[in-house]
Amino acid sequence: KELKKLAREGYWAASRALRAQVYHQLIQQVTCRLVTPDALVYRDVASRLFGKLSVSSHPLPEFLEGCSMPTYCLNLEGVSALKKILICVGSLFPDITYSPILPSLVALLLHYSEDEAQCFENISRLIASNAPHTGYIDQSFLAHQASCMTFGDLANKHCPAAHKLIASTSENVFEVYSGWLSWLFHDLPFNYAIRVFDVYLLEGQKVLYRIALALLKQYRLSVTSAELEGTDIKADLQAFVQNIAEHVTVDKLLERAFGIRLFSRKEIWLLQMANRKALMERGITLVQSSNGSPPSCRQSFHLAVDIQNFSSSIVTAQEMRIVWSWIPERFSLFPPLLLFSTSEDGCSLQRFYSCCEGYEPTVLLIKTTEGEVCGAFLSSDWSERKKSGATSGFFGTGECFVFTVHPEAERYEWVFIKKPELAKAVPRSRQRSPSPSPASLLGSSPDGCSTSSNRLTVPTPQRKGRLSPFLAIRHFLLPSKTASMFMSGSREGIIIGGGGGQALSLDANLLWGRTEHCETFDNPPLCQENFKVQLLEVWGFQ
């Protein structure tokens, strides 16, 4: 804790010698693979590779194709050493296939190394780190893209104002977020980048997410949507970061970064793993570049909601794109697929279930007879309701949220997204608290008036070998059971959100509904409290 405090406050920024000593000692304590190349190996390989030849006669490793080469004020000798180290890394780490961050990290380390051999040894330890949930350097296109998607997910949750601005002015939101690492280790001035490096060595990749989120928040404060009309927002953000000294000091930037409450390293790691899995399912594992330009995994199909071909009886294509910009990155890879519609399938709850089962997640859209439009993003398959037996239990994860589209577009997430410190991580040995049962919460009257129930249902254990879902409630020790009432279904109707009221409840005929403030999402009523359904649609992901 003391070291973290010193790093965050820039204690060793005043002395080059102190910083060099601290860097070397910190990196020597990084747990890494048993056989990791050191300074002696570097001297041997470098003399064998280069001899008396100039470094310029050797091509850079393939994993740097299309990547920029920041030099951070290194002189010609330093730039030559940078290239030699990268060539030796390519020779000794053949498994690295893509790592755009590596040149910047080597260039920064060179400033604080005794010689290039020590710099090589230290960067090798960061590459070979095997500490659980604490990666330092992505080493494949798949891992890099998953990190970009994870940043997009975190920006969506922690910088809603900036995300909304970018989504409304950019054709491709992911393309903007794909530059997040470049903001830190390419665009930031040296005196900012090295302070980022201080905390990064101590705290791993999670700290990079924090600082990039703080930059995004700062950017939002400095621009208006009117100024961004017709602007290349990715280039504008890059220019903003390059001129960050005009907007905020490095101390203030770090202070704001550490004021952002993120979930645990393990939880973020689970999100990254889920994003990697989605990319693999989509067949996106290799670099797809041309003309030496930096590759992007989704240039052709990120705009999953096709304006020309999208058709809904409830929302326009532009409104659906707003909803799609709220959902987790790994699902927005896929275009929307209409699963159920009351106009085509009738007002039958059983038909609703049969059409939606087997799809995870889903988006529920409701249009009332008053013309209001609201809905919910539901992270779990509706077939989960059957696992509770006779009693209907709540299920779902903290990725569920409710929203309004008309008259205003607004999203209301799980209450612990904004206050993760209230939901402490549960030790692995602890079992998840049972969920409260919503049985009898739904009334049969048109206005959906509810009665209470004290019955509890215990969820089934997680299947072995399956990756635990991101924001699964069993990962958290919640202050109250009403904080995790995401979704529930029975023969009497469906409920979304609970605790002090339900965010949305619908009867068995999908005709009458009710909306109230609830503790799970801390939302206001999403439309008129007692409403009649004009149209209902459920969308899945192709």
CATH number for the domain harbouring residue 138: 1.10.472.80
How far apart are the C-alpha atoms of 449 and 441, rounded to whole Å?
8
Residues 147 and 178: their CA atoms lie apart, in Å, by: 9
**Residue predicted with more confidence, 430 or 89:** 89
Mean pLDDT of 33-52: 88
Establish if 74 belongs to a structural domain: yes
Q: Tell me whether residue 424 is in a domain.
A: no
Of 52-61, 298-307, 442-451, 495-504, give the lowest mean pLDDT range. Answer: 442-451
Exposed/middle/buried for residue 451 (C-beta within 10 Å: 0-12, 13-18, 19+): exposed
What are the helix (H) ranges across 159-302?
Answer: 160-169, 173-177, 180-182, 190-203, 205-222, 233-242, 250-257, 265-281
What does the DSSP 8-state code read for residue 401? Answer: E
pLDDT category of residue 442 using cuts at 50, 70 and 90: very low
pLDDT at 76 over 50: yes
* Pair (199, 132) in one structural domain: yes
Angle between helices 190-203 and 16-28 (to 10 degrees): 30
Q: Mind listing the pLDDT tens digit for each residue in 163-221?
A: 988 888 877 888 899 999 999 999 999 999 999 999 999 988 899 999 999 999 999 99
Last residue in a domain, options 222, 248, 282: 282
How does residue 479 score in pLDDT terms, banded at 50, 70 and 90?
low
Cβ atoms 387, 372 nearer than 8 A: no
DSSP state, residue 231: -
pLDDT greater than 90 at residue 427? no
User: What is d(CA 1, CA 14) in angstroms, rounded to the nearest whole number?
Assistant: 21
What φ, ψ does residue 32 adopt, rounded to 5°? -145, 175
Check whether 44 has a pLDDT greater than 80. Answer: yes
Look at residue 359 in the predicted model and tell me its pLDDT: 92
| 260 plus 368 within the same structural domain | no
Q: What is the DSSP letter of 187?
A: I
Residue 268: inside a domain: yes
Indicate whether 425 pLDDT > 80: no
How far is residue 18's CA from residue 447's CA, in Å, rounded to a whole number? Answer: 69
What is d(CA 227, CA 243) in angstroms, rounded to the nearest whole number? 18
Q: What is the number of structural domains in the chain?
A: 2
* Amino acid at residue number 231: T
Q: What is the DSSP string of 29-78?
A: TS-B-SS---HHHHHHHHHHHHTTS-GGGSPPPGGGTT-----TT--HHH
Task: Write 34-40 long-range contacts (CB < 8 A, 24+).
Answer: 36/124, 36/125, 36/128, 37/92, 37/120, 37/121, 37/124, 38/121, 38/124, 39/117, 39/118, 39/120, 39/121, 40/117
Shared domain check, 170 and 23: yes
Give the list of residues 6+ apart from residue 239 with CB closer than 8 angstroms, or none: none
Task: Give the per-residue pLDDT at 313.
Answer: 93
* CB contact set of 175 (below 8 Å; sequence gap of 6+): 234, 296, 298, 299, 302
Containing 376, the helix (H) or strand (E) segment is strand 373-378
Residues 518, 502 contacting (CB under 8 angstroms): yes
pLDDT per residue over 89-148, tens digit each?
Answer: 999 999 999 999 999 999 999 999 999 999 999 999 999 998 777 779 999 999 999 999
Q: With 60 as the cut, is the pLDDT of residue 456 above it?
A: no
Q: Specify the higher pLDDT residue, 291 or 157.
A: 157
Same domain, 133 and 270: yes
Nearest alpha carbon to residue 481 among 527, 437, 515, 431: 437
Identify whether 407 is preceded by a cis peptide bond (ω within 30 of 0): yes
Residues 109 and 10 in one domain: yes
Shared domain for 342 and 276, answered yes or no, is no
Q: What is the DSSP letter of 471?
A: T
CA 9 to chain centre: 27
Separation of alpha carbons 201 and 30, rounded Å: 9
Q: What pLDDT digit, counting tens, does each position of 385-415 carry?
A: 888 665 568 899 889 999 999 989 999 999 8
What's the CA angle centered on 494, arms 491 and 500, to 5 degrees? 125
User: Where residue 1 falls among pLDDT bands split at 50, 70, 90?
Assistant: confident
Whether 292 has a pLDDT exceeding 50, the answer reads no
Higher pLDDT, 460 or 231: 231
Any residues with CB less than 8 A from the CB of 454 and at least 6 apart, and which? none
pLDDT score at 421: 66
**Could you tell me the pLDDT band of residue 449, with boundaries at 50, 70 and 90?**
very low
322, part of any domain: no
> Encoding tokens for residue 284?
């996106």
Which of 243, 259, 282 represents a domain boundary (last residue)?
A: 282
pLDDT digits (tens, 9 = 90+) for 338-378: 999 999 999 999 999 999 999 999 999 999 999 999 999 99
For all residues of the chain together, what is the average pLDDT?
84
DSSP run (H or E) holding 102 = helix 102-110
* Residue 439 binned pLDDT confidence (cut-offs 50, 70, 90): very low
Q: What percent of the chain lies above the pLDDT cut of 70?
A: 83
- Are both 338 and 278 inside the same structural domain? no
Rg (CA), the chain: 26
In a domain, 150, yes or no: yes
Same domain, 169 and 253: yes
Question: Are 196 and 108 in the same domain?
Answer: yes
Which one of 38-42, 47-51, 278-282, 470-474 scores highest in mean pLDDT?
38-42
User: Which pLDDT value is given to residue 306?
Assistant: 65
Contacts of 297 (CB under 8 A, 6+ apart): 141, 145, 279, 284, 288
80-85, Cβ contacts within 8 angstroms, sequence gap of 24 or more? 80/55, 81/110, 81/116, 81/119, 82/106, 82/107, 82/110, 83/55, 83/56, 83/58, 84/46, 84/50, 84/55, 84/116, 85/42, 85/110, 85/116, 85/119, 85/120, 85/123
Backbone angles phi, psi at 293, to 5 degrees: -80, 150
**Mean pLDDT calculated for residue range 317-326:** 86
Share of the chain above pLDDT 90, in %: 54
How far apart, in whole angstroms, are the C-alpha atoms of residue 4 and residue 7? 5
* 79: pLDDT strictly greater than 90: yes
- Are residues 374 and 465 in contact, defined by beta-carbon separation less than 8 angstroms? no
Instruction: Work out the pLDDT band at 285, boundaries 50, 70, 90.
Output: low
Residue 270 and residue 386 share a domain: no
pLDDT at 423: 63
- Same-domain status, 391 and 502: yes
Task: Tell me which residue range forms the domain holding 503.
Answer: 334-419+480-541
Give domain status of residue 425, yes or no.
Answer: no
Residue 113 falls within a domain, yes or no?
yes
Whether residue 354 is found in the same domain as residue 266: no
Angle of CA points 449, 450, 455, to nearest 5° = 170
Q: Is residue 438 part of a domain?
A: no
Q: Which residues pair with 532 in a beta bridge?
A: 512
Q: Which of 383-387, 505-509, 518-522 has the lowest mean pLDDT?
A: 383-387
